[in-house]
Structure 1
Amino acid sequence: YFFIKNVLTFFLTLSTFKKLDSCLLFEGKTSFGMSIFNLSNAIMGSGILGLAFAMSNTGIILLCEILLVFIAILSAYSIHLLLKSAGVVGIRAYEQLGNRAFGHPGKMLAAVIITVHNIGAMSSYLFIVKSELPLVIQAFLGKQENTGEWFLNGNFLIIIVSALIILPLATMKQLGYLGYTSGFSLSCMVFFLISVIYKKFNIPCPLEDEDHHNLSHLSHGHGYINGTDDFCEAKMFTINSQTAYTIPILAFAFVCHPEVLPIYTELRDATKKRMQNVANISILAMFIMYLLTALFGYLTFYGNVESELLHTYSRVDPLDVLVLCVRLAVLVAVTLTVPVVLFPIRRALLQILFPDKPFHWARHIIIAFCLISLVNLLVIFVPSIRDIFGLIGATSAPSLIFILPGIFYIRIVPEEQEPMFSRSKIQAACFAAVGFIFMVMSLSFIIIDWVTGESRSGGGH
């Protein structure tokens, strides 16, 4: 009897383990520091280039003391809910959490949202490569304008960069291997931040061209105010038609949630507390970099700052050596971020299409190749980087930061641990509700801005 009982128990346990995500059987080997590099790199990307523009449309106090702090704290709390849910059921895959909470529809929903968001993020990174790399090559060649050669064509350049750099890195078997490239990427962005601070004290306001003509009238969405003292004065609190894009930009800038569980899986000596420390340190470091970049970028150009900060510097001196080096550093940073962002998409697709299949190199490489090819095609037809930030930030970002972690926590954590009307679950419900309200309001503001913008442009013709 005892022999038969033990044999049955063994086979039942074995079958249960087969149903669990394979990451439970995976021993993490990535160090604490490398995990911080990977998560920080996942947080920081193209969003940092839009923060000075966000500050110009909100003011210093509204952005720094309210919105930036608010989004950072909520992002850390969201990761806490995600890790708590994963710890309860022993699952370290976003899609499997959705499956545990709502069955197959929940799994599909999580996978689709992760895929859409990260494809949008990859598109924004490659959009920077498409727009900035030709200018860098043109400047290094000493050309005053783009003369149409193939090596100055952004569409060709993103294909070359994708094939020679992104695809080889994206075929790495484990995300932890990218810790070294993530560390180098972060060092490039630190150089970018130092340069932004340095340029604050070397660029006069108002902007002037080579013939000392005032460039303030070129401001996008900001009217020139007679008297440079008024125009070059920092605004503490501002609301205008472009403010609608501010919160989506901030939300987009702090989204790292699809990468949290894969990094957690590969973390050495993984515990919830250890992974939460990785998340908190990463968010704090990126918060400081975001804050300083937004502040000094805004205090350099004030109302003249554009939605893509690097373009604003090119209006002062397109051939400035430091600005060229900064452009190159940012290009390297965003290029090395793309493989990190690709990993969760591939994992989501594998969970949907091949849920019970073991690792296979051909499948691993083919999915990476198809994803990179798709993003390359999308980038060719993207009209504006602001549209990517706005739409992705207003839809998938609140889903990943607010809605899904909140409802997963409510559904997964059993009532024995947390009753339905306990403070923790009420907070999680309010958290998800805030995300839904944020999504509706942001989309409404953006659509209204598009409609009114089209009306104004139509009336002008």
Structure 2
Amino acid sequence: MELQKLSNGSHHDADGPLEGGLLPEEEKFLQHKDEDSKRPQFTDFEGKTSFGMSVFNLSNAIMGSGILGLSYAMSNTGIILFLILLTCIACLSCYSIHLLLRSAGVVGIRAYEQLGLRAFGETGKILAGVTITLHNIGAMSSYLFIVKYELPLVIQTFLGHTSPSENWYMNGNYLIIIVTTCIILPLALMKHLGYLGYTSGFSLSCMVFFLSAVIYKKFNIACPLERFGNSTVDTAIPESTCTSKFFTINQETAYTIPILAFAFVCHPEVLPIYTELSNPTKRRMQNIGNVSILGMFVMYFFTAVFGYLTFYEHTEAELLHTYSEVDPLDTLILCVRLAVLVAVTLTVPVVLFPIRRALLQLLFPGKPFHWVRHIGIAVCLLFAVNLLVIFVPNIRDIFGITGATTAPTLIFILPGLFYIRIVPKTQEPMNSRPKIQAACFTSLGFIFMIMSLTFIGIDWTSGEKRNLGGH
């Protein structure tokens, strides 16, 4: 049987595919040894997105608002321990992508929900779809919350006001509606994720500017810190105030592990990006994942280390807020705030694509592309997220619960379970080293989940509210 090649983005529809677009098992992973013995023949859309654009999109999916809290995380771990933890979690994320790509190659279709269908039937399909939807809605909401609270401050500073006014353009609720309608919605209506490579590249450029400003400020802010409006000088300053620490263990240290773990969440976007990749091979997509994670690793580490070496033990949970303590009228920090706003705004459409794909797989399995469904789901999702951000005053607890459950599920638990269930035992028995590694990887996900939920429970019982980093 020869699989038809797809050219114009239409779904494969030959020879009567079974439920969910899957072919019989013996036809799901065909190998043409004369051409390329290792290249899987997929039954879904054959994309045209370049390697570079795919890197931009995946890097943009990885990059989250949590970067603002990495310096605070380093202040509670020390430089060396932070680097060790960051390296381990980056390597685990690369391994997780490997498991997803390996499973997708066996199934023959690059959709998270179809991996769940193949591994655990309809229950697995629904679990994967619901998990992706909840996690990415939480991520979209967190980005729009940044817009809601930061954009009025930027406008206020641009206008030279020292206090907020009652004007409509200073109301965060109105501003997120305007930003959603004028910027996010048009980008979310793009037919293919690959088209967002340009906006993703610009978004990453904004975060590079943010990193450059952090490095520049390191050499322009003296230690001990002179806070804005405080003319008193404390002559008895401890020597440790301006001393960097390499290893630190305190009450906050354990909270940094979920922050770092969630900093590399990009797995819902991996398979959609793989679907639209030109010349798709597992090695090519794995290289995209490796390059993206390496780039974010470097950006994360330098942001954390230079932010920490600027403020040391005075580093706050939100890095930009610490700069405002020095000079709230700083023009460079104002530009950095604006760049961060642009970056998170342009990330929302990238995060929306996996939700829409999950909903299409759950509600309209096997249906061809249709603009009405494409547009309708995007409008409904953005409308629901806007309502959530506008009318719920404090949904950090909701984000905490969903982040503590969905992030470990998407990074560790589901990729490991899919690999164990999908890769045939004739190729890799259950006692083989790859299967054992996948089982340990899944167990690690449950440990992360239990640990994160425990931290949230401690926060609730103690009355303290710590930010687990979000995404």
**TM, length-normalised to structure 1:** 0.90
1:157 aligns with 2:175: yes
What's 1:7 paired with?
none
Residue 252 (structure 1) shift: 1.7
Any residues of structure 2 matched to 1:227-376 within 5 Å, and which? 227-376=237-386
* Rounded Cα–Cα distance in structure 2 between residues aligned with 1:303 and 1:388: 30
Q: Distance in 2 between matches of 1:67 and 1:369?
A: 39
- Residue in structure 1 matching 2:82, options 32, 44, 63: 63
**Code of the aligned partner of 1:140:** F
* Residue in structure 2 matched with residue 5 of structure 1 by the alignment: none
Q: Report the CA distance between 1:13 and its aligned residue.
A: 6.6
1:197-227, CA deviations, whole angstroms, 9 ceiling, x for partnerless residues?
Answer: 00111112233234444699xxxxxxxx962
Partner of 2:63: 44
Q: Is 1:208 matched up with 2:242? A: no
CA distance in 2, matches of 1:32, 1:356: 28
The answer on 1:132 being equivalent to 2:142 is no
- Structure 2 matches for 1:190-209, cutoff 5 A? 190-209=208-227
* Pair 1:432-2:442 in alignment: yes
Report what 2:28 is aligned to: none
**What SS class does the counterpart of residue 239 from structure 1 fall into?**
coil
Name which of structure 1's ranges 228-237 and 167-176 shifts more when overlaid on structure 2: 228-237
User: Residues 124 and 385 of structure 1 are in contact (CA less than 8 Å); yes or no, is this contact kept in structure 2?
Assistant: no
1:79 aligns with 2:97: yes
Q: CA deviation at 1:243?
A: 2.9
How far, CA to CA, are the matches of 1:34 and 1:57 in structure 2? 36
Residues 252 and 389, structure 1, Cα contact 8 Å, conserved in 2: no
Per mean C-alpha deviation after superposition, the further-off stretch among 428-437 and 374-383 is: 374-383
Query: Which whole-Å CA distance do the structure 2 matches of 1:18 and 1:100 have between them?
Result: 11
1:292 maps to amino acid: F
Inter-partner Cα distance in structure 2 for 1:51 and 1:392: 21
**Displacement, 1:360?**
1.2
Once residues 211 and 76 of structure 1 are traced to their aligned partners in structure 2, the CA distance between those partners, rounded to angstroms, is: 47
Aligned length: 435
Q: Are positions 1:92 and 2:93 aligned together?
A: no
What is the CA distance between 1:70 and its match in structure 2?
0.8
Percent sequence identity is 73
1:16-65 Cα distance to aligned partner (Å, 9 max, x none): 3775269724221000000000000000121211111211222212211x
Query: Which segment is superposed worse, 417-426 or 389-398?
Result: 389-398
In terms of fraction of residues, the more helix-rich structure is 1
Deviation at 1:385, TM superposition (A): 8.7
Quote the offset at 1:303 in angstroms. 2.2
Question: Whole-Å Cα distance in 2 between the matches of residues 416 and 232 of structure 1?
Answer: 60
Distance in 2, matches of 1:21 and 1:161, equals 39
CA separation of 1:303 and 1:359: change in aligned 2, threshold 3 A: same
Contact 1:98 1:408 in 2 (8 A): yes
Cα gap change, 1:285 to 1:102, in 2 (>3 Å): same
Amino acid at match of 2:315: V
SS of corresponding position for 2:224: coil
Does the C-alpha gap of structure 1 residues 391 and 298 become closer, same or farther in structure 2, counting only changes over 3 Å?
A: farther
Deviations 1:207-257 (A, max 9, x none): 3234444699xxxxxxxx962422222222223333343122112210000
Matches of 2:233 and 2:62 in 1, distance apart?
Answer: 34
Query: Which amino acid in the other structure matches residue 24 of structure 1?
Result: T
Q: Which residue of 2 aligns with 1:20?
A: 21
2:4 equivalent in structure 1? none
Q: Return the offset for 1:394.
A: 2.0
Match of 1:35 among 50, 54, 67: 54
Contact persistence 2:20–2:114 (CA under 8 A):
no
SS of equivalent to 1:236: coil
Work out the CA distance in 2 between the residues paired with 1:398 and 1:57.
Answer: 22
What amino acid does structure 2 have at the position aligned with 1:61? Answer: I
User: For 1:254, what is the secondary structure of its paired residue?
Assistant: coil
1:300-355 per-position Cα deviation (integer Å, ceiling 9, x unaligned): 12222222211221121111111111111111111000000000001111111111
Distance 1:306 1:14 in 2: 60
Matched, 1:116 2:134: yes
Q: Do the aligned residues in 2 keep the contact of 1:205 with 1:301 (CA within 8 Å)? A: yes
The aligned residue for residue 468 of structure 2 is: none
Render the CA deviation track for 1:107-152: whole Å, top value 9, x for unaligned: 0110111111111111111111112111110000000111222111
Does residue 173 of structure 1 match 2:191? yes
- Looking at structure 1, the residues matched to 170 and 118 of structure 2 have their Cα atoms a distance apart, in angstroms, of 50
- CA offsets per residue over residues 159-181 of structure 1, 9 Å max, x none? 11011100110010000000000
Provide the C-alpha distance between the structure 2 equivalents of 1:103 and 1:178, rounded to a whole number of angstroms.
Answer: 33
Q: Which amino acid aligns with 1:245?
A: Y
C-alpha separation in 2, matches of 1:389 and 1:50: 16
Partners of 2:162 and 2:221 lie apart in 1 by 21
Q: 1:220: which partner in 2?
A: none
Distance 1:376 1:48 in 2: 23
Quick one: structure 1 residues 214 and 250, their matched pair in 2 at CA, closer, same or farther if it must change by over 3 Å?
Answer: farther
- Whole-Å Cα distance in 2 between the matches of residues 377 and 348 of structure 1? 21
Task: After superposition, give the CA deviation of every residue in 1:405-428 in whole Å (9 maximum; x if it has no partner).
Answer: 000000000011111110000000
SS state at 1:15 partner? coil
Q: CA-to-partner distance for each residue in 1:62-85, whole Å, 9 max, x for gaps?
A: 211x21011100000000000000
**283-292 vs 305-314, which moves further:** 305-314
Match of 1:16, SS state, is coil
Q: Is the 8 A contact 1:85 1:408 kept in 2?
A: yes
Paired residue for 1:8?
none
Q: 1:442 to 1:279 in 2, by over 3 A?
A: same
Distance in 1 (CA, whole Å) between partners of 2:327 and 2:233 is: 12
Please give the alpha-carbon distance, in whole angstroms, between the structure 1 residues aligned to 2:153 and 2:68. Answer: 17
Secondary structure of 2:181's counterpart equals helix
**Matched AA of 2:59:** S
**What stretches of structure 2 of length at least 5 have no aligned partner?**
1-12, 24-41, 466-471
Task: Work out the CA distance in 1 between the residues paired with 2:44 and 2:413.
Answer: 29
| Stretch moving more, 404-413 or 373-382 | 373-382
Within 2, Cα distance between the matches of 1:148 and 1:203? Answer: 34
